[in-house]
Structure 1
Amino acid sequence: MLGGLSPEQFMRRHWQKKPLLIRNAFPGFKPLLDRPTLFAMAADEAVESRLIVHKAVGWTLKQGPLARNALPPLKQKCWTLLVQGVDLHLDTAHDLLQRFRFVPDARLDDLMISWASDGGGVGPHFDSYDVFLLQASGQRRWRIGRQKDLSLVPDVPLKILSNFEPEEEHLLNPGDMLYLPPRWAHDGVAEGDDCMTYSVGFRVPQRAGLAGELLLRMADEFEDNTLYRDPAQPATANPAAMPAALEAFAADGLARLLRERRSLACALGEVMTEPKPKVWFDEPSQGWCMGPLKLDRKTRMMYDDHHVFINGESYKAAGADARLMRQLADRRELDARLVGRASEGAQGLLQDWFESGWLHCVAAV
C-alpha cells in the first residue's frame, strides 16, 4: 500500500515532510460503492455532502442534503459531489480506513468520496491536514507544489489559491494513491467521466480550540470551594478598577486546575473520542451474549496508561481488565475467550456498551 515502504519508513521519511506517489497501491482496486449509491447517500440528512460547480461565471457551492434532482446532469462538465464520513455509514469504507491505522487513532479522521464529471474539481487549494488521495475509478490529474503565495481568489465560496504554482503533475488511475503533507497545494481535475476519488483525511486539533474544550470539561470536575477574601482591601477612589488581588486569585485557580493531570488526561480522551455531530447508535436487535465482540464502526475508543476512553466517556482501568480494554481499542474486537476471562465489572461495562449500540456481538463462524 505504501509503495514498498514499511509504515515505519513512511512515517519517518514522508509523514508531514514530503509527498509520495504510489502507483498501484491497491492492485485491481474496485470502488466500494457505485455512483447511484453515493448519490443516494448525499440525499440523506445524516450524511454531510457538498456540491461544487465550476462555470465560466465562477464557482458555486451548495451544502447537502442533496436530492438527485438537485445535482447537474451527468454529462455536464466541471461539477463535483463530495460526500464526507462515508466510513461512518459503510462497513467496507470503514474497513478501508483501518488500513491507515499506522497513524494514531487520535489523528485519523474519515474517508471522503468525491465524484466528478469531466473537468470537475474543487480548484487549487491547500489543506491544514495530511491526506491520502486514492483513485477509485476513472482518472484524475493532480498538480501539486509547495506554495509560498497563499493569497486566495476573492468573493468565491471556496478557498481557491489565486496564484497556484505547480511543481509536479501526476495522472492517477484506479488503485494509484498520492500522499500529501499539510499545506502542500494541489489541484485535482477529472479526466473523462465517472471519476471517483477517495480522500483519507486526518484530524488536526487547533491549540486554542482544544484548550477551550479541555478547560470546560475539567471545570465540571474541579472541586475547590475556596472563597475570595480581601481583608487588606483599602478604600478606593476608582471603584470600577479590577482589583489586582482578584486577578491573582483567578490565575491561581486556573493554575490549580491545570495541575490536575489526571483530570486533563480524562478530558483529552473524552474530547478525542467524542462522536461527530449527527452520529447516533442503533439499539441492538439481539440480546447480550458472552461471545466475540466487535466495536461499531462509528465508535471511537482510545486509552492511556490509566484510563479507557470511548465515545466521549472515560473510565479508570488497571491490571488485566485494562489490558483487555486496550486490546479491544487496538483491534476493535475481542474473541469469546477474552470476553469470558474479563472480570465481572468489565463484563458489565461491555454489556452496557452493547446496550448503547457501541459494540456488537459477533455470530460464531
Structure 2
Amino acid sequence: MFTLHLDDFSLEHFLQHYWQQKPVVIRQGFQHFVDPISPDELAGLACEEEIESRLVYRKDGEWQAELGPFESYERLGERDWSLLVQAANHWSPQVAALAAPFSFLPKWRMDDVMASYATPGGGVGPHIDLYDVFICQGSGRRNWRVGERGNHRQFAAHAALLHTEPFEPIIDVELLSGDILYIPPGFPHDGVTIEHSMSFSVGFRAKSASDLLSGLADHLIDRELGGALMSDPGRPVHHEQGRIDAGDFARIKAHLRTVLEDDALLADFAGSYFSKTKCQLDLQELEQPFVEAELVAELARQGLTRIGGLRCFYVDQTVAQGVCYVDGERFEFGAAGRGAVLALCDHEHLSHALLKTWLRQPAFLAALTQWVNGGYWYFED
C-alpha cells in the first residue's frame, strides 16, 4: 500500500550516515500519498476509552493538554489545536500498513505509529524525543524546525507537556504531503501547522540500561529464576568492617555475571520483553472459534493477517529449538518447528502455502488455532 521512495540516497547510506546521527528531510518519500485514515475516523478512535489520545492547544497564550477519550472539539475553534492518537496502527489496518516501508529496521526496535490532526497554528510545542521518529506528512502542510543535539534546558509548559528552550534551527522546512522528516533522539524540534493537516509519526524506541535491568529483574522474579545465593567459602579474615574490598567486589560482579552470561535465560528475557505491547491491542475473540481442522480448511481458502501492533519475535540463541515469543509469551515447537517460527514472525500475512509443512505438527497447529480464536491473526472475510 505504501512504498518508500528514495531519490538522494540508498537505505544503506541512510543507515550509515543518518540513522541515530542526524536529521534529514526525505522529499516525496511517499509519492502520491493518501491519508490512511481521515480526521473524522481519527476523532472516532479518540472517542474510545481503551485508546490513548491527547488534545494539545493554547488558551490565552498558555499551553494546555487533555487526555481522552473526547466527544467534541467545537469548543476549540478553528485554530491552534492538535489531536494525537497513540498506537493508531493497533486499531486501523490502513495505518498499520504505514509501518511496512520501514521494515529495513527490526520490528523489536519499533514503538508505534502515532496519527495526528492539527488546525492552523496547531502543534505540541518545542520538545525533545528519546526515540527515533519518521514524521510522515499527510494532507495539508506543516512547518518543522529542528535544532542541533546538545544540552538543552527542558521545562514543564504544562503538567503533561515537557518543552525545551528556544533553539537555533539546523533544519527549517515546510513539509508537503508525502514528505518525511527523520529525527534521531535528542534533537529539539517544533512543528507548526500551516493549514488543516494530518501527520503520521513512525517511532522507533530504544531502552535504557535501567529499563532493561528493571525488566530483567521482573523476568527473574516472575519465573523464580536467579535465586541462587552468592557464596564465599574459604574467605580470609576481614579486618576493616566498613570495607567492601576488591575481592568481595569481584565476587559481586561475578554473581551478577552468572545471569548476564546465561544466553538461554537472556534470550527468553529479550524475546518476552520486546514482544510485549506498550498499548492495548484490538483483540476480537471469535464468537464461534475454529477447531483445528476447520482452521486448516479456511487457511487453504484465504490467508491470515496479523493484527496491527502485535509483536512476535525469535532470538538466534533459541530459534533452533523452535522457540518464539508472541505478545510477551514464550512458545516452543521443537527443532522441527524452526521453519514455522520463521514464517510466523517474519511475515505479516500467512498463507497455506507458507505454513503447509508445519500445519501437520500438532503443537504448532494448536497454537495457531489458539491465536486465531483469540484475535491475534484474522481472516479478512
TM category (shorter chain) comes to: 0.7 to 0.9
Shift of 1:320: 4.3
Shift of 1:32: 1.6
- What code does the residue aligned with 1:204 have? A
- 1:160-181 deviations in Å (ceiling 9; x for gaps): 2222211221111111111112
Q: 2:363 aligns with which of 336, 339, 345?
A: 345
The 1:353–1:100 alpha-carbon spacing in structure 2 relative to 1, beyond 3 Å, is: same
1:293 to 304, 310, 317: 304
Q: Secondary structure at the match of 2:103?
A: coil
Q: How does 1:100-249 map to 2 (within 5 A)?
A: 100-153=102-155, 156-157=158-159, 158-192=161-195, 194-219=196-221, 220-222=223-225
Q: Give, as a single letter, the amino acid of the residue that structure 1 aligns with 2:194.
A: E
Distance in 2, Cα, partners of 1:166 & 1:274: 37
Q: Unpaired runs of 5+ in structure 2?
A: none
SS in 1 for 2:123: coil
Is the Cα–Cα contact under 8 Å of residues 80 and 114 in structure 1 kept in the other structure?
yes
Q: How does 1:56-95 map to 2 (within 5 A)?
A: 56-69=60-73, 72-75=75-78, 77-95=79-97
| AA partner of residue 214 (structure 2) | G
Q: Provide the C-alpha distance between the structure 2 equivalents of 1:251 and 1:23, rounded to a whole number of angstroms.
A: 50
Tell me if structure 1 keeps the 8 A contact 2:343–2:355: no
Counterpart-to-counterpart distance in 1, 2:155 and 2:224: 46
Paired position in structure 2 for 1:34: 38
Cα deviation per residue 1:191-240 (whole Å; 9 max; x = unaligned)? Answer: 12x21111111122121111111122134242756697999999xxx9xx
Aligned to 2:57: 53
Question: For 1:250-265, what aligned pairs fall within 5 Å after superposition?
Answer: 254-265=256-267
TM-score by length of 2: 0.83
> What is the DSSP-based 3-state SS (H/G/I as helix, E as strand, rest coil) of the residue aligned with 2:105?
coil
State TM-score, norm by structure 1.
0.87
The CA deviation at 1:301 is 0.5
Shift of 1:2: 4.4
Shift of 1:91: 0.4
1:10 is matched with 14
Report matched runs for 1:327-342 at 5 Å: 327-342=343-358
Alpha-carbon distance in structure 2 between the residues aligned to 1:232 and 1:323: 51
- From 307, 313, 318, the equivalent of 1:302 is 313
The CA deviation string for residues 279-318 of structure 1, in whole angstroms up to 9 with x for no partner, is 3622124524112433222321111121311110123455
* Alpha-carbon distance in structure 1 between the residues aligned to 2:230 and 2:16: 52
Runs of 5+ unmatched residues, structure 1: none
Higher mean displacement: 128-137 or 313-322: 313-322
Aligned length: 358
